[in-house]
Amino acid sequence: MSPTLVETGLPPADTGRLTHLLTEFAGHSETTHGVTRLAYTPLERAAHRMFTDELSALGLRTWTDAAGNSYAEIAGGRPAPAIGTGSHLDSVPNAGRFDGIAGVVAAMEVARILVESDTQHTHPIRFVAFAGEEGARFGQACTGSRIAAGLLDSPDLADLRDTRGVSVADAMRSVGLDPDRVAEARWSTDDWAAFVELHIEQGNVLEAQAIPVGIVDLISGSTRLRIDLHGRASHTGGTPMHQRADAMTAAAEITLLAEDIATDARHHGTRATVGRLELEPGSITTIPGTARLYVDIRDVDSDRQRLTAVELMDGARSICERRGLTLEIETLGDTSPVVLPVWLRRKIADVCTTTGTRYRVLPSGASHDSQMINKVVPAGMIFVPSRNGLSHVPDEWTSVEDLAVGTDLLARSLLALDRELASGTTVETTC
């Protein structure tokens, strides 16, 4: 017979509390249909203040670093590196209310459970809301966690810009953060023992198999490109078809090429997406003279990921040469796949076995903050189901009951890690 929640020593997550927090965070949005809360905007900062205010009210010490990442901490029984959990609070445009936020809300509920149950632990338990995880605004994802991991420095923040030409550095200044001080936000390996992030799956594996939680073993890499095509704008009626240098038709051909490459027999598991297409001059009676494509290539195989990008760029050059266009290609971001520590995911699996929670080990096709901070601290991930696998859209949905199961697992996993690390029995502690 599987142990009950009472037998494992903690009260269960409160579904009413989880629902309340999700609703409150969803209110910080530019839009009423879905959630729009972009990186380094006043709305994102308001969500971070809600996070720190709620946890400060529980008696936790709270602070925000120079990168805009927010923290709260429950002190441990003795001086020791922290065990952490959390996710991000920003969104893509017209997103759902769960991506990132579910992991922050779960962390906040774990904090409440630990405080109100007066649970004792050796290591400090630290709760994190990362800034700027989504790459929707500036093209590169995981800004706050990249800074924490030492993968992004002050000079880089001036080069990354949104579609209006606003740099990350300028956006940070506009919300009261100092981009020249982000080196102060770097994490130290001496200050962290382990980190576990809860997140919605953003796929339909768990739902399709009726499995309540997933344990992530591998996070896909991502190569992001901007391809600018320069043709010749002219009148749609006055220009014969054989005399055109149409940037739009070239863009369409490149988009289909990306699909063909990702679906051929050599690329099982590769995903290639043209997520944004901009045309100029943008008139129905004018042949587009300029097209700009934003391409996202993801893979669990590092070599194949980069070779796919090279193959697409070579193909784009051939298409433009044949059509009489010129092109410019810029790499917006390039992140390798990450294998998460085996010992950490085994510990989460042990907790699942102890509590009778069915689970599946699976990869993540999306990027996450854990992918970055795994450079500094061993990181693990827990997935909860996504209805119909939808994410980054208003219809994104995870039931609060599923989130509560994941939250219970998260709380027990953090305490199991605390016990194991305090006993010194963990052998494999490298990332």
What does the pLDDT look like over 336-383, one tens digit per residue? 999 999 999 999 999 999 999 999 999 999 999 999 999 999 999 999
Identify the pLDDT of residue 8: 52
> 428 pLDDT exceeds 60?
no
What is the residue-averaged pLDDT of the chain? Answer: 95
Going by C-alpha positions, the residue among 238, 344, 252, 336 that lies closest to residue 293 is 252
Contact (CB, 8 A) for 125 and 76: yes
> 18 pLDDT exceeds 50?
yes
> 7 pLDDT exceeds 90?
no
DSSP one-letter code for 161:
B
What does the pLDDT look like over 199-252, one tens digit per residue? 999 999 999 999 999 999 999 999 999 999 999 999 999 999 999 999 999 999
Identify the pLDDT of residue 431: 42
What does the pLDDT look like over 249-268, one tens digit per residue? 999 999 999 999 999 999 98
Three-class secondary structure assignment of 341-375: CHHHHHHHHHHHHHHCCCEEEEEECCCCHHHHHCC
Angle of the 101-116 helix axis to the 15-26 helix axis, nearest 10: 140
Contact (CB, 8 A) for 387 and 350: no
What does the pLDDT look like over 78-119, one tens digit per residue? 999 999 999 999 999 999 999 999 999 999 999 999 999 999
Going by C-alpha positions, the residue among 352, 369, 370 that lies closest to residue 361 is 352
> 425 pLDDT exceeds 70?
no
What does the pLDDT look like over 395-424, one tens digit per residue? 999 999 999 999 999 999 999 999 999 988
Tell me the pLDDT band of 4, cut-offs 50, 70 and 90. very low
Identify the pLDDT of residue 268: 87
CA distances for 342 relative to 142, 267, 269, angstroms:
23, 26, 22
State the pTM of this model.
Answer: 0.89
135 vs 16, which has greater pLDDT?
16
Contact (CB, 8 A) for 247 and 291: yes
